[in-house]
Chain A
Amino acid sequence: MHWIGVYAMGCMIFSGWEIYNASPSLPFMFPAWTGLGGWLGGALAWHLSAMWLLFADGIAYLVYGFASGHFRRDLKPPRPAEVVHDLAAALSGRLKHRIGHYNAVQRLLYAGVIVAIILQVLTGLSIWKPVQLGWLTGLFGGYPIARGIHLATMFCIVAFVLIHVAMVAIVPSTLKSMIVTVPEEIEENQ
């Protein structure tokens, strides 16, 4: 599920950059070679195709997360003090990574990116169908604002991906558990 999501999200982000470049709302553009689709029409075809994959994968993940207790067990919202403590420990290199156990910073970021992706789907729907789903567009403050939120949330997701990939690069042993099942490490001294 994670890797289908990576593919779908990759398609959405790279085609989204191409779409953004057609009419930049901020004074910058994404490098043309990063775009997916070749031109606006191609990028939209990718975007409006991959969205179904992302949607289906996301629904399946949410159902799994709630039904299996994964969210309840592993993504318990951390208290701010826990986050500060674990972040300080991580930055000073003292935080041990235990497979199958998320620290407070991880819980915050993982829960955060799930919320961001849901927000991204909702703002996406609101700018795809601002008349037929006008109530949703209205909820986000109208079409131009919803479009702005859609762009800002993309940056949040990209920032998460950069941090996430950097962390995996620092602790490469975690990659194995993302591909195959690895037995959970027993928590010690607790």
Chain B
Amino acid sequence: MSPQRIKPAVSTAEIKPELERLRRRGFLRSALSLGALTMLTGCDLSTHSGVDAALEAMLRFDDRVQAALFSRRHLAETYPASAITHPFRFNAYYAEWQVRPVPDNWVLNVSGLVSNRRPWTVPALMALPQQGQITRHICIEGWSQIGQWSGVPLHTFLRRVGADLSARYVYFKCFDGYFTSIDMASALQPQTILALDFEEKPLLPQWGAPLRLRIPTKLGFKSAKNLEAIEVTNKYPGGFWENQGYDWFAGV
């Protein structure tokens, strides 16, 4: 007579990132802290929709201010090798033990407003001009660390694939489920690179193998790891964190 135990199709651990995302999506609805209560007397606290909309409008305004402040000539400070942070901190939307290995027969796909959609292999990318940098990686959480990367300047790559450089966005898709996008002006900044190496060695999986974006003029979450596709587009692509409420431009 014991009730039949049905094994769940998915475990909690498997859907944890999704639950986390759903929890965060209503990030401002859940802003019912003391601070919010004291600040918002008079507002409708039942939905927060007006406050949400106002804050989102302000973030869009901030994005425009950031784009106006951005200059391709302002280079991120570079450091000597002695300044490199050891050990370098791992960071992703999942824990380090969940890092994905590089898929077999990995290639980088290119799509959107480009004239040449031929996929790229690692040796093909290595054959392009390379450029190294030792720059500060600044996380949106406030911490920062200095690291060393080298790879193909994104402007070189975009010209090589015949990208429409007047397009608005460059979108990056990763095989670990992450995605993000940047404005074309930042994509063409000379320090924005498609990194193949970290600390003068080919990228390890936890540092974004085999190819990652490294963009020192934006907050860390824009430097997407484990790339699998790049798209040049005029349609706003959003991003993993950006869709949950981080400001999209995220310039530093």
Contact between chains at A48 and B58 (CB < 8 Å): yes
B176 within 8 A of A: no
Which of A32, A40, A42 neighbours the largest number of chain B CB atoms within 10 Å of its CB? A42
A7 within 8 A of B: yes
B142 within 8 A of A: yes
State the total of A-B contacts with C-beta under 8 angstroms: 125
Q: 5 A-B Cβ contacts within 8 A? A: A14-B39, A23-B141, A39-B30, A41-B245, A131-B216
Q: Beyond A49-B55, A143-B138, is A132–B36 a contact (Cβ under 8 Å)? A: no
Question: Which B residues touch A20, using CB under 8 A?
Answer: 142
- Give the docked Cα–Cα distance between A130 and B58 (Å): 21
- Give the docked Cα–Cα distance between A10 and B55 (Å): 16
Within 8 A of A (CB), among B55-79: 55-56, 58-59, 61-62, 66, 69-71, 74-77
Contact between chains at B143 and A23 (CB < 8 Å): yes
B222 within 8 A of A: no
Given pairs A15-B35, A46-B55, A52-B58, 4 additional interface contacts (CB within 8 A): A10-B38, A37-B27, A41-B244, A129-B69
Contact between chains at B27 and A134 (CB < 8 Å): no
Q: Is the interface of A mostly helix, strand, loop or mixed?
A: helix
Contact between chains at B33 and A33 (CB < 8 Å): yes
Contact between chains at B76 and A131 (CB < 8 Å): yes
Question: Which B residues touch A23, using CB under 8 A?
Answer: 139, 141-143
Q: Beyond A7-B39, A36-B39, A52-B58, is A45–B245 a contact (Cβ under 8 Å)? A: yes
| Number of chain B residues whose Cβ lies closer than 8 Å to a Cβ of chain A | 45
- Give the docked Cα–Cα distance between A37 and B59 (Å): 14
A126 to chain B: closest CB distance in Å? 11
Which residue of B136, B141, B144 contacts A22 across the interface (Cβ within 8 Å)? Answer: B141
- Give the docked Cα–Cα distance between A129 and B247 (Å): 14
B106 within 8 A of A: no
- Give the docked Cα–Cα distance between A44 and B246 (Å): 8
- Give the docked Cα–Cα distance between A46 and B48 (Å): 13
Question: Which B residues touch A18, using CB under 8 A?
Answer: 33, 35
A61-103: CB near B (< 8 Å → 1, else 0) gives 0000000000000000000000000000000000000000000
Contact between chains at B35 and A35 (CB < 8 Å): yes
Contact between chains at B142 and A42 (CB < 8 Å): no
B179 to chain A: closest CB distance in Å? 17
Could you list which residues of chain B lie within 8 angstroms of chain A, going by C-beta atoms?
A: 24, 27-36, 38-39, 54-56, 58-59, 61-62, 66, 69-71, 74-77, 136, 138-144, 216-217, 241, 244-247, 251-252
B56, closest chain A residue (CB): A45
Question: Which A residues touch B66, using CB under 8 A?
Answer: 129
B217, closest chain A residue (CB): A131
Which of A22, A35, A36, A45 neighbours the largest number of chain B CB atoms within 10 Å of its CB? A45
B121 to chain A: closest CB distance in Å? 33
Contact between chains at A129 and B142 (CB < 8 Å): no
B251 to chain A: closest CB distance in Å? 7
- Give the docked Cα–Cα distance between A79 and B247 (Å): 47
A25 within 8 A of B: yes
A173 within 8 A of B: no
Q: Beyond A7-B39, A10-B39, A38-B27, is A132–B34 a contact (Cβ under 8 Å)? A: no
Question: Which B residues touch A52, using CB under 8 A?
Answer: 58, 61
B214 to chain A: closest CB distance in Å? 14
Contact between chains at B247 and A48 (CB < 8 Å): yes
Question: Which A residues touch B32, using CB under 8 A?
Answer: 38
Question: Which B residues touch A42, using CB under 8 A?
Answer: 27-28, 30-31, 55, 245
Instruction: In the A-B complex, list the 10 residue pairs whose CB atoms are closest, starting with the nearest.
Output: A36-B35, A14-B35, A41-B245, A49-B58, A23-B141, A38-B31, A22-B141, A38-B30, A45-B55, A42-B27
Q: Beyond A36-B39, A132-B69, A134-B74, is A48–B216 a contact (Cβ under 8 Å)? A: no
